[in-house]
Chains A and B, each alone.
Chain A
Amino acid sequence: DAGVIQSPRHEVTEMGQEVTLRCKPISGHDYLFWYRQTMMRGLELLIYFNNNVPIDDSGMPEDRFSAKMPNASFSTLKIQPSEPRDSAVYFCASSFGTGGYNQPQHFGDGTRLSIL
């Protein structure tokens, strides 16, 4: 079975540009998570969705960040405008959690984002 698929794997762009990160969760999973990993802050949750609906976006740093999940098989995380401090590895993860089935989260390979 295919795992969580993220694209691009690497992204280098200039400050002020719009950045869009993409994620395809594992088929059948009803939860989708976006995490950010930095040396200073470690791994932190940005937002998560249940059945395509955002449940908790309290980790989204500021209005420059937005996330969408238009259907069960696709999500985007957008940064506009980007800033150097947004440089990090961004992970997408998915899990099946409805009906009492507390399955672990499966992570994608991450997108390494560098803002110059």
Chain B
Amino acid sequence: AQTVTQSQPEMSVQEAETVTLSCTYDTSESDYYLFWYKQPPSRQMILVIRQEAYKQQNATENRFSVNFQKAAKSFSLKISDSQLGDAAMYFCAYRSGRGAQKLVFGQGTRLTINP
């Protein structure tokens, strides 16, 4: 079974600075998808960014980018120019590329933005 590990329960960063959240996963599959979801205090689950395992190029969405290292099974999220609205729980998630459509989530990292 696939597992996802987020080793940083909490992180903090100064507003306008850059922060990187770590995620590692374990799988024997070669075809899969990885996601970062954001959960603010309102408890919505908001998709931040996704990466297809077959793509070598790292995904980017405005201030959010990933560092996908397939051999190392690592999928970190970089937030540039941090804003107060980025404060939230961030969850890394894995989904198989074939068959099961379910998401396997990490335990989450709570990100605090210091003004």
Distance in angstroms from B8 CB to nearest chain A CB is 14
In-complex Cβ contact of A42 among B35, B95, B107 (8 A): B107
Instruction: Count B interface residues, CB 8 Å.
Output: 23
B105 and A43 form a contact (CB under 8 A)? yes
Q: How far is the CA of A104 from the CA of B44 in the complex (A)?
A: 15
Does B55 lie at the interface of the complex (its beta carbon under 8 Å from any beta carbon of A)? no
B107 and A97 form a contact (CB under 8 A)? no
Does B33 lie at the interface of the complex (its beta carbon under 8 Å from any beta carbon of A)? yes
B43 and A105 form a contact (CB under 8 A)? no
Distance in angstroms from B69 CB to nearest chain A CB is 21
Q: How far is the CA of A72 from the CA of B103 in the complex (A)?
A: 21
Can you sample 16 A-B contacts with CB below 8 Å? Answer: A33-B102, A42-B105, A43-B105, A45-B104, A48-B102, A55-B101, A56-B100, A89-B43, A93-B103, A104-B35, A104-B47, A107-B46, A109-B42, A109-B43, A110-B43, A110-B45
> Which chain A residues have a beta carbon within 8 Å of chain B's beta carbons?
31, 33, 35, 42-45, 48, 50, 55-56, 89, 91, 93, 95, 97, 102, 104-107, 109-110, 112
Known: A42-B108, A48-B101, A106-B47. 16 other contacts (CB 8 A): A33-B101, A33-B103, A42-B105, A43-B103, A45-B102, A50-B101, A56-B100, A56-B102, A89-B43, A97-B101, A102-B52, A102-B95, A104-B47, A104-B50, A107-B46, A112-B43
